[in-house]
Amino acid sequence: MKGFKFAGVHAGIKKKKNKDLGLIYAENPASSAALFTRNQVVAAPVILGRKTMEKGILQAVLVNSGNANCFTGEQGVDDARQCAGLVAKALDIDPDHVLVSSTGVIGAPLPMDKFEAGIPEAVACLDSCTLEDFAQAILTTDTCTKMMSLQGKIITSGDEKDFTVTGVAKGSGMIRPDMATMLAYVFTDAGISSDLLKQALTHAASRSFNRITVDGDTSTNDTLVCMASGAGQAVVGNDESFEAFQAVLDDVCYGLAKNIVKDGEGATKVASITVKGALSQQDAFKAAEAIAHSPLVKTAIYGQDPNWGRITAAAGRSGATVDQNKMDLYFDHVPLVQKGQWQGKESEIQAAKVMKQDEISIVLDLNLGEGRDQFLFCDFSENYVKINADYRS
C-alpha cells in the first residue's frame, strides 16, 4: 500500500508466544477518520482516541492484543498516552498524531515494560514486516487473519487514476453491530479530506460492521479507523469521484465484516436475514436485528432445523409493526410461510437441505410497505460456550 508501512511483533503481552503488538506507520501525516464504540463502559484507548481524532490527522497506530486496558482508571489513560509517546519518539513524529488501540481481557493494567521494549522492536521491523504480520498481532480468539484489498478508478484532472483500499480487522466474539464492532483499520492511497473520509467511513460502517452480529455483545474497545495517505494520483473531490471511492470502501468494509461473522467463536455457518416489505426502514432494521440476535434462531441454524416459528416470533417481539397473516418467509428460494400460512412438511424438508449449506439466506417479507434491511450473523454451537468459559484461563 503506497504511503504505509506495517509491523507485528511478540512483545510478551500474551501468555502464548504469538505476535501481540502491531504498528501502522504513514510516511506522511494522513487524513484520517474513526468511529468508536457506543458502549458506555469504554477502554482507555477509546477515551484517548476520541480526542486524538478531533483534528482528523494520524501518522501512526499502535495496537496491542492480550490486554484491553479497560476499567483501568486514570492510570489506563496515562498508560495509553505513554504508549503514544513511545511510538512518537521512536518514529520522530507528533504524539498527537498517534492512535492507540487495545484488545483482550478487561481489568488488568498494561504491562508497560513490555511496551517499552516492544515498540522500538516494532519500529525497527517496519521495513521488513508486512500487513500479515500486523494482522496476526491484533488477534485474540480469532482463528485467522482478516484482510481485503480492492482497486477502483477516479477521474482526476481529466485522466483516469487508480486507487486502492486495503483493510484488516480482528473480531470473533463480543460482536454486535453498534458503531463498528471489533477493531478494523482501513487504508487508501487516494487523496481525500478528513471530513469526506469521515462521511464515507460512516456510510460504509452502516452497511457492514453495523449489520453484523456474532453474540449480541458490544465491546468496550470497538474502533474503526481509515487513513488516506494521498500517495497515489487519484484525488477524491467531486460527487462522481466520491461515489467511486465510496463504492470500493463499502465493499472492503463489507468483506471484512463478513469474514468476522465467518470466524465467529464456535461458528459453523453464516446466515443473512433480509427483512423487506416493512412499513419503514427502521422497522426492517428492528426485525432483522432481533432475528439475527436471537439465540433460538442461531441454535436452530446450528442444528439445521428450519424452525420458522422462532424467526417469525423474533420479528413479532422486535418492536416493528408486523401482521402475522401477511408474512412470507423463505430459506433461499424455498417458501416456508406464505401469507401467514405454513407451507407444509415438504417445504420444511426442502428448507432443511438448504440449511446444510455453509451460507444460508433467509428472507422475511412483511408485505406492509417498502422498508428493507439486512443483517449477517452466525450460528451458536457448543464451542462458543467452551471458548468463552475458558477465555481467561
Looking at residue 377, which CATH number applies to its domain? 3.10.20.340
52, 156, 166, 181: the catalytic one is: 181
**Residue 266, C-alpha cell as written in the block:** 464456535
DSSP states along 179-229: SS-SEEEEEE-SB--HHHHHHHHHHHHHTTGGGEESSSPPPSS-EEEEEE-
Give the per-residue pLDDT at 157: 76
**In terms of residues, how long is the chain?**
393
Residue at which a domain ends, from 225, 240, 262:
262
**Residue that is last in its domain, among 237, 262, 287:** 262
The reply to whether 148 and 205 lie within a common domain is: yes
Do 190 and 315 belong to one domain? no
Q: Which domain holds residue 169?
A: 4-262
| Better-scored residue on pLDDT, 222 or 350 | 350
Average confidence score pLDDT of the chain: 94
CB atoms within 10 A of CB 262: 18
Pair 68, 26 in one domain = yes
Q: Are residues 179 and 279 in the same domain?
A: no
pLDDT digits (tens, 9 = 90+) for 342-381: 999 999 999 999 999 999 999 999 999 999 999 999 999 9
Other Cβ atoms within 10 Å of 47 Cβ, number:
17
Which of 262, 279, 294 is the C-terminal boundary of a domain?
262
pLDDT tens digit sequence for 253-307: 999 999 999 998 889 999 999 999 999 999 999 999 999 999 999 999 999 999 9
Domain count, the chain: 2
Domain check: are 209 and 342 in the same one? no
For β-strands 270-278 and 359-365, DSSP reports them as parallel
Do 216 and 118 fall within a single domain? yes
| Cβ-based neighbours of 72, under 8 Å, separated by 6 or more | 44, 79, 107, 108, 109, 110
Residues 108 and 250 in one domain: yes
Domain holding 126: CATH number? Answer: 3.60.70.12
Question: Is 163 found in the same domain as 36?
Answer: yes
CA angle 248, 194, 374 (to 5 degrees): 40
- Strands ordered across the beta sheet of 270-278: 212-213, 371-378, 270-278, 359-365, 328-331, 334-338, 341-342
Kindly tell me if the per-residue pLDDT of 180 is higher than 60.
no
pLDDT of 225 > 50? The answer is: yes
Residue 143 a catalytic site member = no
Q: Residue 16: what pLDDT?
A: 85
Shared domain check, 287 and 220: no
86-110, pLDDT tens digit by residue? 999 999 999 999 999 999 999 999 9
Q: What is the rounded CA–CA span in Å between residue 239 and residue 98?
A: 31
Whether residue 88 is found in the same domain as residue 119? yes
Say if residue 87 is in the same domain as residue 185. yes
Q: Are residues 163 and 288 in the same domain?
A: no
With 0-12 CB in 10 A as exposed, 13-18 as middle and 19+ as buried, what is 20?
buried
- Mean pLDDT across the stretch 33-59? 95
CA 200 to chain CA centroid, Å, is: 15
- In this model, does residue 174 exceed pLDDT 90? no
